[in-house]
Chain A
Amino acid sequence: MKEVKVFQQMYRDGQVTRREFLSVMGALGLSATAAGGFLASSSALAATPNRGGSVISASNLHGPDDTLDPIVCTSTIDYIRQCTSYNGLIQIWDNMSLHPELAEEWSVNSNATEYTFKLRKGVTFHDGSAFSADDVLWSMNRHLGKDSPSSIKAFFAAVVEWKKIDSHTVKLSLSSPDADMPIKLTQFQAKIVKKDTTDFSKGAGTGPYLVEAFQPGVKSVHVRNPNYWRDTGQHLDAIEITAITDPNARLNALLSGDVDMMTVLSAKSIKKVEETDGVEVMSVPAGLYGGICCLKNTAPGKDDDFVMGLRMIQDREKIVRSFLKGHGQVGNDHPISPAYGADHCNELAQRTYDPDKAKWHLNKSGISSAELFVAPVQGGIEETCLLMQQNLAKIGFDLKLKKVPTDGYWGAVWMKEPLNVVTWNMRPTANAMMSIQFGPGGNWNDTFWNNERMGKLLKMSLAETDPAKRHEMHCEMQTLVHNDAGMVIPYHTNVLDAKSTKVHGFSNVPLGQLGGNGWAEFIWKDA
């Protein structure tokens, strides 16, 4: 097939036309379909973006609560729309790297309590008005205060004030050090809106696409912003964003070409996508996980041996192989997967399936039965619990599974029943993830595990700028959670989506679906 490669190269370089390419392939004895396949892969390799066309993106969930107001958005479909309408100060892109967006550059003082942002000049909102420091102040202040409905309020708890230095410079002062602040500013909720906006349904930000129509629970249509401030391609003429709630209907829509990309592919459907021409799986290793919460303030979770028994009984390799079909990694009973990069603790030994030790710990705890509340909050969690039930039965422990619906789960079961299941999306930083879930007295400390040392380490690591020392602190935190908290984390799942092979240019940011949701201005579609 060396000839094929040579001709692919020639096609890419424009030395042969499509017709010539196909006829040569025919001469080589290849069928039309096979030749077409080589052509398609050639153009993918060519990576010369095609300008024009439109795509339809299908998420998994939408409804009357769809919103274009950044601070209250909580679902994938909202996130995608934020990235078409608005920009943030800073942007996260391939391999979790930070890039200046509306902030041209930023600097921080030595103890990470003061940030200065130089804002970009010559940026305009969709309505033609100019972007300035006032807009940043107004947007960021919406996250502050007791009554703020912001869903990432916790990230800005230490903010003392956002101050305008001049029309294009703002200064942020913090009451305690936070070296992670730039990463937190990349969140979808932290996008910049125009000062004094009251009607967010117009989505009139500074972003790459203009809102042409927005119908919550139905769809939105976005067209290219001709006055966009930067050249990122904006290859597509138009983007339609909708959701298909039924997983099979969503998959069928992709397979039959009615939509160009879909979010949340179930592990069961991976094979179907892989064996269908024209579509492919997008699988990005992430920090996303499913786990079992044992509340530490009540029985049986307050018994350390009971929790350790549940950890030892997890057949992690099998879960990843059978339930996640290989699209995931074994968990080590703490949330910081290798996807968090330098903050992941390589040194911590991987816990493995050990029924004997599990039996020893459970015997020591004196507990012989328990009831676990299970809802399909995440692909793989139900199967994991069933496997755990079987393996516990083998060592004489009776685990009852109480199946409940996902609908209403977060209000009625999670953080209420002594044993329940949970899923956490990846957070932009290891510190953010740890403090949300394990910060002593935190709002979402879902195992009610209050560890003083943990609280200290969380604060210290935020102020630490020496990478080695910082890594050491993170290792200590991960070890604490790994051994002492009430969490059992058997696996991390990849972010799994699927798309047409005609669409290219997604990033690999594991913080959300479809390469982190921010694809609108970067992707293109083959003609």
Chain B
Amino acid sequence: MDTIISISNLSKVYANGHQALDDVSLDIKRGEILALLGPNGAGKTTLISTICGLVSPTSGSVTVNGFDIEEDYRQARELIGLVPQELTLSAFESLWHTIDFSRGLFGKPADVPYLEQLLKDLSLFDKKDQEIHMLSGGMKRRVLIAKALSHEPMILFLDEPTAGVDVGLRKDMWKIVHKLRDAGVTIILTTHYIEEAEAIADRVGVINKGKLLLVEDKDNLMQKLGKKQLIIELSEAIRVIPESLASYALVLSKAGNKLTYHYDTTADGTGITTLLQRTREAGLSLKDMQTKQSSLEDIFVDLVEEST
């Protein structure tokens, strides 16, 4: 896959001296879903806003499909749709009018069938003649997506698309994102919900205090940093862990019927085979076993703690 957005050594220091971005370099691949994960104030919105032209970079450069965001801003911005974090909409105009405005603003000729289909896809079509202030919060969120997609962008930025959104709508949003990706749109979303990045992203970038800590394929990231747990359930509870198993750093549950073993899937040997053998030799009988992958959340917390 080739690169659609290339960010080189991007830094931003605001007028008040706050460094929101610190030497960020990142290549975003065409057609991928990239999740930028980070706590509040990490610099996610600043990064997106800079690429979209809302914030001037202090240093560094960004190209979008080969176009520099400052020198060739017209060509670069034409390709981008932005869904902001806040529900920033004018209240007293109709839904149809607002998306029609967005399309015209990006220089695209009117296309009624396209906009109608867009509203249908976002389950907004029956509201098209209503004024914005009549719509619910969830609908307004979708209106912002419709505005961003009204000019058929190649790249879609979603800034905290599911912040303050209920579970049902969040799932809907994920569906929309997948559908767009299938249609060839590159999607960059910011989130502080780890489950969101885990559920929909192809790659995950972790950002904290303006620094991009890492960017990895989601699966690789989970494998690379993800520890697995093996939980062994015993038929009969024990009080102490047998001497022969001491080297495995097992954790015995309070009830004494579960042993938990932490292992690294990427290590040369996981040690599971010998562990099980020794368990049998120690005279313990197994009732059940399960393995658990640590979530992106655990990985994330580890990374952010390391960087602070």
A and B physically associate: no
